[in-house]
Amino acid sequence: MRPVISTSELADLLDSEHPPTVLDVRWRLGGPSGRESYREAHVPGAVFLDVDADLASEPGPRGRHPLPDPETLQRTLRAAGVSEARPVIAYDDADGSVAARAWWLLRWSGHGRVAVLDGGFAAWRSEGRPVSRVEPRPAPGDVVVRPGALPVLDADGAEKLARHGVLLDARAPQRYTGETEPVDPRPGHVPGAVNAPFAAHVDEDGRWRSPEELARHFATLGVRVGTPVGAYCGSGVTACSVVLALELAGLSGPERPAALYAGSWSNWVADPARPAATGPEPG
């Protein structure tokens, strides 16, 4: 299954005999909660999952959004109706940078039929497609979480990849350079990391750029087929969209998947001994 699906494809699937499980994962750094938006309107049949409560563990030294405990994640996904045999479509407000967290977790768990809605809820609603305020009660799913289907980096692994491969920093340029840091205690980036803002993956309307455009974009950052590559961001949420974009571009796949530094910058700076580079260069 392609990692990105169009609104028309989702509409056809919802009208089919075996519709997919749809997950609404709208979330914004600093709020307000996406649950409020979900209650106002959502794709019919969609189940809301909260990034903070459902798709991460408690914040701490491992980062602000550590990977969830596998057993807890399995219970959450089953309660949302996620099953082994049914495809899963996740969406957020628009650009897929948050929905990619659900995509990545399901892929990491071993579920192979997962996609992100191109353009998110904004595209769905702008096209006049049906929305609902009804919160469904899905039949329990049977998904089995088998962690490890996608590679995960710790701080040492991220440091090595920055030296011997390409480590992509998905944050905005101002956070990468250290000009500003609104959330974490120290500014800057992992020495050797290359800035790859997640906003570069989509057009102005929040729809994903073509595989060819993405491949050219990553080539300018030093990523080509066969390049060892990984990604991080502030806490491991939007970096998932870099992993997705690399797959969409044909630069990552089953034989050599891109890695995620799950703890990301919030884990890196938890150890005051780890260095922080500043400025526009990798350092």
Q: Radius of gyration over alpha carbons of the chain, in Å?
A: 18
Report the Cα–Cα distance between both ends of the chain, in Å, rounded: 38
* Spatial contact of 14 and 45, defined as CB atoms under 8 Å apart: yes
Contacts of 188 (CB under 8 A, 6+ apart): 176, 177, 178, 181, 276, 277, 278
Report the C-alpha gap between 278 and 281 in whole angstroms.
Answer: 8
240 counts as catalytic:
no
Distance between alpha carbon 71 and the CA centroid of its chain, in Å? 20
Report the C-alpha gap between 197 and 176 in whole angstroms.
Answer: 9
Q: Which amino acid is at 146?
A: R
Residue 136 backbone zone (phi > 0: left; psi -120 to 50: alpha; other: beta): beta
Of 10, 233, 239, 248, which residue is the catalytic one? 233
Q: Which H or E run includes 23?
A: strand 21-24
Active site residues: 233
